[in-house]
Structure 1
């Protein structure tokens, strides 16, 4: 299934994408794409529905029908740094011996095609296409061997980062990762039955039509199962929590010389089978 949230900012409604690419409304069946809806039992209940019997939502998704973030009520938005060896190299950092974790504040979450406003004082605004893991059944101290059983599905994430705040302002990375709009997720959550191997997905990002990132989740240092298990050592994972898994090389900070986003530029990004995003940078 491809689950989504459609409608104006702050008034999104739950939905699913049918086989013809139309949005079907789920409001009569679930309050939102959140919480218990994302557990195995919740997803099984949605699978039992006949999409053809659900109301069609007027408009073409991501054209004249806005999509919101594909998950609501996210409790934790966990980031993983330097999880591609070649990205670590372009950042001038060692490949980590265990996952580097940081947080993206949930107030940064945005729709997949919402404009990105440059924050006041920002000078080093950067892009990062990433595979997002959406937790279904939660847990603590989850064994790696069963970690994928705790995943509801996957989505595209743009881990937008302000490098000056991240690197030069002291403390953890969080200051450069959690500003409003820095976490577009979606367009939809694709359930695990449609993603047979999360370590075999192409992910890409372009700025103003120029390809900047073109990689594969096959080159992740720590794979999806390892990350779910690892994160669950330090916090109880809950339905709807998101883990964003790192980015391949090609970020602006890694260009020679470095290149950062400017007002008027457009980012387009996507992951095979998971959809695409498009964000215009505004002043």
Structure 2
């Protein structure tokens, strides 16, 4: 018999094998852990509600552009952009679970609760990334090691190394398991428990990460072709610079949203199959 799935991402005992959240347990447990109370309705971003990740990806894109090439702004810009990426990850994870036939309570968290949860996850993932970067440099791959620093950012945005794209897929799997594990830990974010879960679901999630890495590589090359086409458009077009800048921003966050949707769809499917079939 396959092991029981945590309540936060349970598989119902039906032929359809669907995901389900248990009695809003995630919402209650997280609020107890975060010590926050819901004092206003959930932030909906008005007309963006059908695409809940879009506002966060737009913000992340703008922050990355502002911080680009400015040494004093690179680190704070990267932190803020990664928080936005995590918030977009939450929104996409919720919709991905619902698309798989389940229900998610992530959307019931207030904006403050989501930001606090993001920060709690962020420093743990950053710790993993820094350790992996230093270890990779120490064993002689010093030229590749810096690409690992973009592991979290790479869940939504493209990066320059193919192996780095596989690394971002693995980081996305770890973030998903941290979220899933939070309910079974009373809402507490537990990195080591998530790492243990990653090993327990290594077969299906490993396959999902490998598939996602291949897709990210292909998506990266496709994005590069579009980027080149936009650059040529800039050289020959007579439209104003504001419109050119708008086109470039739309290009960046459109690929970011596509990459995030593909990431969560594949990882959610892999995790569902792991619980259903074992491993």
Q: What TM-score, normalized by structure 2, do the two folds share?
A: 0.28
Give the greater-gyration-radius structure (CA): 2
Q: Which protein is richer in helix relative to its size?
A: 2
Q: Which protein is richer in strand relative to its size?
A: 1
